[in-house]
Structure 1
Amino acid sequence: MYTGSPFVLNRKYAERLSEQWVILSAKYGFISPSFVIPGPYNVTFKKQKTGPISIPALQDQVRAQTLDRFKIIVGLGGKEYRAIIESVFAPAGAELYFPFAGLPIGKAMQATKRALAADEFFPNQMGNSHRS
């Protein structure tokens, strides 16, 4: 299970935003919040040599898990995750939102806390959406 501060905060955001959400793991792909990770791993989208899951494999997971039924996708996380989410979901015509895109991790965490406190889930939505 992921336990870092950014993940814990993003999880709160996701849980308040929707009953249905998934985690994007560089090793396992799209996993449910209840997925038990067998142990630590050092796979990242930042370094291809670590062997992250491929875009075609993620697209297969989207179909298998019927994630393509969602017309709005909200992505949390860094730029590498945004690029992966865009590559996987934009071709399906989903409307993509990245409410904290472009912020350094500390500022993103502050913005997430503010959004949670204000129940405002799409701050600056016009500048952080991607419409395909």
Structure 2
Amino acid sequence: MKRRLCIIACGAKKIWDVHPEAGATEAQYVYQSAFHKASQAYARTFFSEWAILSAKHGFLLPHDTVPENYDVAFGTKNPEIIALDRLMRQARDKQLDGVEEVVMLGGKKFRKIIHAVFGADKSSFPLADCQGIGFMLQKLNQAVANRQEIGKG
């Protein structure tokens, strides 16, 4: 069976925005935006392997711990953005580099990163044709409700 990985974007709204007293938290519970939650529902529905891509921490597996709140985003000039060579090392260390297909749930800003780490031939972006977050959300929610993976119908 083909080994597939879904990568989802992290998101600005985090557990500490809702529960400031929360300490270190597993990655799967950190991100609170509607888009992240819809992406996670999609990943859990259609994939046995999934990871979150954080601009600060890189590839986070669901049970990885995020120590504290942060505000770092790809596409900004923030010096804390994780370097590409570190992302590639993480992919190897977390054994993500052996997958045959990578599906990235996110916008265009992730394309260069995913292609560099996994290769353009293995990567797909099922939300690339969406004109904004509202359309992305709708597409994800419909796919989960219908149990029909985007682009596989």
Q: Normalising TM by the smaller chain, what interval?
A: 0.7 to 0.9
Runs of 4+ in 1 over 2 A off after TM superposition: 48-51, 122-125
What are the superposed Cα offsets for residues 14-50 of structure 1, whole Å, 9 maximum, x if unpaired? Answer: 0011121111110000011122322221111110334
Please, which of 108, 113, 121 is the counterpart of residue 84 of structure 1?
113
Q: Which runs of 5+ in 2 are unaligned?
A: 1-29
What is the aligned partner in structure 2 of residue 110 from structure 1? 138
Structure richer in strand, relative to its length: 2
Contact 1:99-1:124 within 8 A present in 2 as well: no
Structure 1 contact 46–80 (Cα < 8 Å) conserved = yes
More deviation, 14-23/82-91: 82-91
- Structure 2 residue 136 is the aligned partner of structure 1 residue 99: no
The AA in structure 1 aligned to 2:49 is Q
Q: Which runs of 5+ in 1 are unaligned?
A: 126-132
When you count helix as a share of all residues, which structure comes out higher? 1
Q: Distance in 2 between matches of 1:5 and 1:28?
A: 21
Equivalent residue letter for 1:47 = T
Q: Is the partner of 2:144 in helix, strand or coil?
A: helix
Same amino acid, percent of matched pairs? 33
Q: State whether structure 2 residue 87 is matched by structure 1 residue 58.
A: yes
- CA-CA distance at 1:102 after TM superposition: 3.4
Residues in 1 aligned to 2:78 and 2:52: alpha-carbon distance in whole angstroms: 22
Larger RCO: Structure 1 or Structure 2 (Cα < 8 Å, ≥ 6 residues apart)? 2
**Cα distance in 2 between the residues matched to 1:98 and 1:70:** 16
Q: TM-score, normalised by structure 1?
A: 0.84
CA distance in 2, matches of 1:8, 1:120: 18
Q: Deviations over 1:51-100 (max 9, x none)?
A: 21011110011111111111000101122223311221117xx5211111
Equivalences for 1:1-132 in 2 at 5 Å? 1-90=30-119, 95-103=122-130, 104-123=132-151
